[in-house]
A and B are shown apart, each in its own frame.
Chain A
């Protein structure tokens, strides 16, 4: 189902969404940045512009999350109280790269082991996608097989034209929200079929470079011992900026806190493979002791190990790693080297 929303109806539309559930959207902050945040004042919502550096992953998989509390009874037995949160929320303005990241997370956290914290939250979240019209020069979604108008992972998809927003319902979960705002919407015309292809053409022409990685999908394992890794790991300073800003990085560490709860509670926080202690064994041995190992692990996981495990790239081409890298390691040039090494190795 597809309908139009007039530009001047946007605010009532947001108000209606806010009534439905907690609304999260890119908001202009005091420091003139745009960030995904819980919308308080809906005049600050700014969907257009560069994709915010922090992805909406934060609202599905928070950086720090309480997993459970435990109480120790007199007889020495412990009771555990899980704190799974499933308050309904709507995330608005999620671009196709982040949509892919969310569907990757769904896949990842339900494949070998089900993670109720994330799956429950995904269940109670309605995701409204946004056709991307403002690529940055770090973007490379077309290289990993995505497109600026892909709808995979979205419940509702939105696109902006000069006169109206086009709103399309994709899932049953989305339909509920759609019905609540339906009174604000106008009928869609047949000519609207052209909008998505047009945005796609337009945006793709602005993307800096396309490296055809799909053609080597599944064969990237062969570049493990290539020499190009060293050119990048030499400059890498092994901070975790790339992983902490990545929409698909899923690693976490758990820790117990004794002073914020009555008896104690367990938290989980994001962890990063760029950290020396990430793979440090109790014996003192570290299988990924150097920066080269760690940088290669991150890239190989995105483009090869996740293909082996789940059959899909875990890189969505959002370019956040390049944007946040303090020493400007460019993911596009890494994947170019990967492609070249695979092609060259097979000749």
Chain B
């Protein structure tokens, strides 16, 4: 199944390829289990593409950088083919809605994702450096450096976004290519959104919630990995936390608990109208702060209050930036 998807991606790209195009997909890195972004500018490089359960990076992040022409090669004059999991496709969709990139530039290829493995969880379990990973139907087999073999049930080692929050639902959009069986995929994810699993916050008293926030967020080292990996964060180098040109010194790189909580609180609120719940913040965090559940909490509030899911369509205005006349909440 996996190899079939990979084959189909390559075939599709080969068919669509025109000189001057750019394709964005995953490729193997030198470390076992690591998949890194591949910026493909030559047709021959398409064969390096890989797709499996280890492709955890969201390539949607780079859409914003294309707009600033930072990483476009000089030869580029055509379209950008971007390979996405459905959760990442929503981030691309939100970039369209936020007018971060023109739709004509992007050719969206969505793959039928089957859940992505959390590498750090596996590494922690093995307690030894891992030499190789192998993927079988429902099992991940890893060999550690001493030659021991470990077998893991894939479904127990999914990223949190795949196991718990499951934002796999698909954007309403006309112009994408789907790799895999679309009907079957939609049937599979149909129940996900309607059967939300409760978040830890849902059952907590305000005091417990406060304690949890303190306990988790005080580990933050303000490295800004969560901000910079976030596809919804497109201010790039002009972020208020960076002391930009106007010398607005809102928040120093200060790691007292009050300040880290303030930093994250600002981010939770600021990103809420365009956070699609892709979970990249949590994956990127070097301190293993479960950021995804915090953002998800705000996401659900957004949906309850406004009936609005970021990334659902390519043209809806952000709800906190717009209003309708006669609206109750205004």
User: Which residues of A come within 8 Å of B, CB atoms?
Assistant: 31-33, 49-50, 53-54, 63-64, 134-139, 206, 208-209, 234-235, 237-241, 243-245, 253, 255, 267, 269-272, 275-277, 280, 284, 290-291, 322-324, 326-330, 332-333
Contacts and interface: CB of A to CB of B under 8 A. Distances in A.
Given A32-B124, A332-B30, A270 B253 contact: yes
Given A49-B127, A64-B255, A255-B252, A275 B242 contact: yes
A33 B224 contact: no
Interface string B229-270: 100000011000011110001001111100000000000000
Nearest to A272: B223
A339 to B, nearest CB: 14
A244 B29 contact: no
A136 B129 CA distance: 5
A54 B220 CA distance: 12
A290 B223 contact: no
Contacts of A332: 30
A188 to B, nearest CB: 28
B31 A328 contact: yes
B228 A206 contact: no
Contacts of B130: 137
B131 interface: yes
Among all A-B residue pairs, the 3 with the closest Cβ atoms: A276-B237, A326-B284, A239-B228
B244 A327 contact: no
A136 B29 CA distance: 16
A247 B5 CA distance: 42
B242 A277 contact: yes
Given A245-B223, A272-B223, A137 B129 contact: yes
A64 B29 CA distance: 35
Given A50-B127, A276-B242, A237 B229 contact: yes
B57 to A, nearest CB: 6
Given A49-B127, A328-B57, A267 B254 contact: yes
Interface string B15-52: 00000000000000111101111010000000000000
Interface of B: 29-32, 34-37, 39, 57, 61-62, 70-71, 124, 127-131, 145, 221-225, 227-229, 236-237, 242-245, 249, 252-256, 280, 283-284, 286-288
Main secondary structure of the interface of B (DSSP, over half): loop
Contacts of B124: 32
Main secondary structure of the interface of A (DSSP, over half): loop
A182 B124 CA distance: 36
A277 B284 contact: no
B50 to A, nearest CB: 13
Contacts of B256: 64
A235 B128 CA distance: 28
A269 B241 CA distance: 14
B117 to A, nearest CB: 14
Contact of A237 (B34, B61, B131, B221): B61
A99 B131 CA distance: 27
B129 A326 contact: no
A307 B223 CA distance: 27
Nearest to A282: B247
Given A135-B129, A239-B227, A240-B224, A330 B70 contact: no
Nearest to A320: B286
A270 B288 CA distance: 20
Contacts of A234: 37, 39, 71
Given A138-B31, A271-B253, A330-B34, A239 B71 contact: no
A64 B34 contact: no
Contacts of A239: 223-225, 227-229, 284
A284 B245 contact: yes
A235 to B, nearest CB: 5
Nearest to B229: A326
B283 A326 contact: yes
Contacts of B229: 237, 239, 326-327
Contacts of A326: 225, 228-229, 280, 283-284
B128 A134 contact: yes
A137 B32 contact: yes
Contact of B30 (A54, A139, A330): A330
A63 B255 contact: yes
Given A239-B225, A327-B57, A330-B29, 9 more contacts: A235-B39, A241-B286, A245-B223, A245-B286, A277-B244, A280-B245, A324-B225, A327-B229, A332-B30
Q: Which of B31, B280, B284, B288 has the most CB of A within 10 A?
A: B31
12 contacts: A32-B124, A50-B127, A137-B32, A235-B36, A239-B223, A245-B221, A253-B252, A269-B253, A270-B253, A324-B223, A326-B280, A328-B34
